[in-house]
Amino acid sequence: MDAKTSFNRRLPSRHVTEGPERAPHRSYLYAMGLTTEQIHQPFVGVASCWNEAAPCNIALMRQAQAVKKGVASAGGTAREFCTITVTDGIAMGHDGMRSSLPSRECIADSVELTVRGHAYDALVGLAGCDKSLPGMMMAMVRLNVPSIFIMSDEDLDEIERVACPSAGACGAQFTANTMATVSEAIGLALPYSAGAPAPYEIRDAFCMTAGEKVMDLIASNLRPRDIVTRKALENAAAVVAASGGSTNAALHLPAIAHEAGIKFDLFDVAEIFKKTPYVADLKPGGRYVAKDMFEVGGIPLLMKTLLDNGFLHGDCITVTGRTIAENLKSVKWNPHQDVVHPADKPITVTGGVVGLKGNLAPEGAIVKVAGMSNLRFTGPARCFDREEDAFDAVQNRTYREGEVIVIRYEGPKGGPGMREMLQTTAALTGQGMGGKIALITDGRFSGATRGFCIGHVGPEAAIGGPIALLQDGDIIEIDAVDGTLNVKLSDDELAQRKTKWRARATNHTSGALWKYAQQVGPAVDGAVTHPGGAHEKQCYADI
């Protein structure tokens, strides 16, 4: 037995390629044009979220071809496959948004099943939208095979017919770009790769390099769970805060941690947010877009100033085989730009996202404060039990300045699907009321949301959380300085109201959304649907 055959027999692909009993399996591979040499090389799954649903995804198939060339040049056999996406830009504002967050789990599950079912040895994932980015990273950590993440990005304008000039994600620091930034900070993506705009030719070079590098990861047996440690998660939370990123990161980071068996919930994320300065002047709260940051030094420039000022753990290993500090050693500060401020001269001394807790949110809540000047708000509640009713009230201007609009029964179970409330918040901003009212929900907000909008309030209304007990006129106090969210009611009053509360029936009694509602956990833990890595006796990569 030669050294190569001995090595391959330790890999998962041995179950479909090695030995006389695998002749039927090999016949399928020969039927697809593979040579004997290719069949006995390590198999690398190239998972793409390509589809024609939105511009976020249309460049990914092209980039997958570059990854496959890189895998082949390094002595591997690439096998390309696609998974689904639900694009928030099209799903928003109607019932389709219920499918958005559940699609994250579907993406992770489908990638897992494909890799397991075909016994692939490694994974390169390409994604470009809000739920496909965290979903792909969740699959990598769950499978724990050598993996590299690649993201697509592009600029955004303001007018409909030229709003999306080409392929890629929305250009501001919305959820997609936030999670792209996370992919580099957490160590699953190659330096500079997550910020390069989709049409740039350098994208394909990054993809080919990723294909080559994943073969090195197979040889060194460096796996996602070696990379995604608690310190790495803290680094990821720090770049979210420093870039004024999306509140949705407070869902996705706990979900990624869950796959690794690490407890890292909304409160852990919020603790990092509280002590990290806000330094990247990115939209929607700032002046620039992700393309601008890439052109002045990219995510490594942001990470470098955080590292130099003690806000990152430099000893975390990454897919390069080197640590964060080693990756950033050659990065020089660019003084001829004002997209990224030095961390010792920040825009604000605390992060652009804040965690809240109080008698209205015992399991926490989240608010994006980047670009806001007033961080406290007190007003009477105006309660709605679904987003459509709140939107109608806003459209018809039947609310009052100074009120706190409450949208409930929109949480993970109650929605089901934890919709984004972007339609309502956009209407309020359009009416010039963004700073004159507040909005709280057990649902989510888009990374594009502006104003005093608090999401992820838990426990959610569907399970009888305090938000379900609110009545019109109850006085709500929001303090993003001290991190509190309270209603001026006694514990006795809340307890009395709870005795009269009854769970509501759902309109979704079958299908994927019904199944999601039965399985999903609370937002504080990432709204995940399975027990996670801590409960595993043996992960896929060790079969």
Q: Using 50, 70 and 90 to split pLDDT, how confident is the model at 174?
A: low
pLDDT(86) > 60 = yes
Confidence band for 153, pLDDT divided at 50, 70 and 90: very low
pLDDT value of residue 168: 43
pTM (whole model) above 0.75: yes
Q: Is the pLDDT of residue 4 over 60?
A: no
Q: Is 446 a catalytic residue?
A: yes
Position 534 scores a pLDDT of 66
- pLDDT number for residue 356: 96
* Residue 440 to residue 320: CA distance in whole angstroms: 42
Spell out the residues 6+ positions from residue 138 whose beta carbon is closer than 8 angstroms to its own.
Answer: 104, 107, 108, 255, 256, 259
What's residue 93's pLDDT? 82
- Of 153-157, 203-207, 251-255, 407-411, the range with the lowest mean pLDDT is 153-157
The one-letter amino acid at 9: R
Catalytic option among 13, 48, 193, 446: 446
Highest mean pLDDT among 33-47, 87-101, 272-286, 447-461: 33-47
**Mean pLDDT, range 520-525, rounded to an integer:** 96
- Note the pLDDT tens digit of each residue in 366-390: 998 877 888 999 999 999 999 999 9
- pLDDT over 90 for what percent of the chain? 72
Phi, psi of 235 (to 5 degrees): -60, -45
Q: Are strands 438-441 and 353-358 parallel, antiparallel or unpaired?
A: unpaired
Beta pairing class for 361-368 and 376-384: unpaired
Confidence of residue 7 (pLDDT cuts 50, 70, 90): low
Confidence of residue 159 (pLDDT cuts 50, 70, 90): very low
Residues 6+ apart with CB under 8 A from 258: 525, 526, 528, 532, 533
DSSP 153: B
pLDDT at 247: 86
The structure tokens listed for 171 are 């250009």
Q: For 391-403, how does the pLDDT look when each residue is reduced to its tens digit (9 = 90+)?
A: 999 999 999 999 9
Identify the CA nearest to 75 among candidates 4, 126, 25.
4
Average of pLDDT values for 183-203? 82
What local confidence, expressed as pLDDT, does residue 3 receive? Answer: 45
* Res 2: pLDDT: 47
Strand, helix or coil at 290?
Answer: helix
pLDDT at 445 over 90: no
Max mean pLDDT range (56-70, 289-303, 358-372, 475-489): 475-489
| pLDDT number for residue 167 | 45
What pLDDT is attached to residue 162? Answer: 39
pLDDT of residue 278: 93
Kindly write down the DSSP assignment for every residue of 104-142, as one continuous string.
Answer: HHHHHHHHHHHHHHHT-SEEEEEE-STTHHHHHHHHHHH
pLDDT tens string 532-543:
776 676 677 776
Average the pLDDT over 322-338 and give the result. Answer: 96
How confident is the model at residue 158, as a pLDDT?
Answer: 34
